[in-house]
Structure 1
Amino acid sequence: MTRITHRRPTSSATTVHSPLGPVHRTVATVALALLGLLAASPAAANTVTKSSAGTCVDATGIGTFTWSTPANAQASDNAYSTAAFSGNNDASHFLKCTGFGFSLPSNSLIQGIQVEWEYKNATSGTIIDNAIRVVKGGTIGTTDKKSSAGWPATDTFVSYGGSSDLWGDSWTASDINGSSFGAALSTVQASGGSHTASVDSVRIT
């Protein structure tokens, strides 16, 4: 979940001299105190979700099986990028998706990143995550959020990370807004004969 907090600008107070006497000076003091409390209140937190990647590609660095038609994972439209395995322990390359079109204000504080992959295993046997990473500046990170759960038989969004999870890194608005920010996935066949992993899309919050 790309959860952001906007910094409030600091303000300075000036002394006001009133000719209206002690009562009015007291009212002015109370008003200034209330303004001080408002200025000290916590900044509002917002979340922003982007559901379409600008680019999805097959990326080496893990596994041996390529993703066919990787661009099909750019949007949730039931057109799939697939990795076809021939046996147990076969693992895919990364499916790397970037360019989500975030436009966070420059003073945003990034508090967490949530990645949701939409995928399925419509064949028999078991397919599981091999690696779940985020991409910063075009580089696939090392913090891994993979799960040992089998992929569902029907198209499902599965969530990784969250509102307070920074994936072992520090982030600026510029990092998130960049065209090379995104997510990467690799999968592996855990059991069965020859099976196919299918990815429909990925969204980031």
Structure 2
Amino acid sequence: MTALPPRRRGRPARTEAGAGPGARERILEAARAEFAARGYDKASIRGIAKAAGVDPALVHHYFGTKEQVFGAAIEVSFEPAMNVPDVLLAGTDEVGERLARTFFGIWENPATRAQLVAVLRSALTNDVAAAVFRGFVLRRLLERVAGELNVPDPKFRAELAASQMVGVAMLRYVVKVEPLATADIEDIIALVAPTLQRYLTEQ
């Protein structure tokens, strides 16, 4: 009997790994669902791979560690928020309202809310998840916003605006404090927008 050649290390064979067109997207979608359902601590590379129908080695091949998979899932979940600098480029008049409407519009969308809630919950309960979330928000979101502000201490202003929006999101969608949890979103925007306007534009 002819001996089989030793298996090469690295990416698993296509037939056993479930690799092929769309494999990366399936893994990412499965990761978002796993983190949403189980949180960062209980989600695992093996569970994500099983949900995606691939070998765990393929998850590592595309994303690396669980921390890196979580980072990729955060990026996809917050992808609509990446257009926030466009809101600022439209001018400073009523920028607070435009920013609030954009941000809370993402949270009000049932298609993205579950993943965003999972991200915040994981960041509250796990130091690694918190570090990933903090790094993403600071590097990818706030620094881009700050770069468009013509005011003193733009990064600090952007962080204050983010703290206002994330705080409201935490109480409304995660902790579900009443009456905030069931308040009309237009009422929330009307009250939050002037504060954002002051943070981002007042000299």
Instruction: Quickly name the TM-score band, shorter chain normalised.
Output: under 0.3
| TM-score normalised to structure 1 length | 0.28
Larger fraction in helix:
2
Q: If you compute each CA radius of gyration, which structure gives the higher value, 1 or 2? A: 1
Relative contact order higher in (CA < 8 Å, ≥ 6 apart) = 1
| TM-score normalised to structure 2 length | 0.28
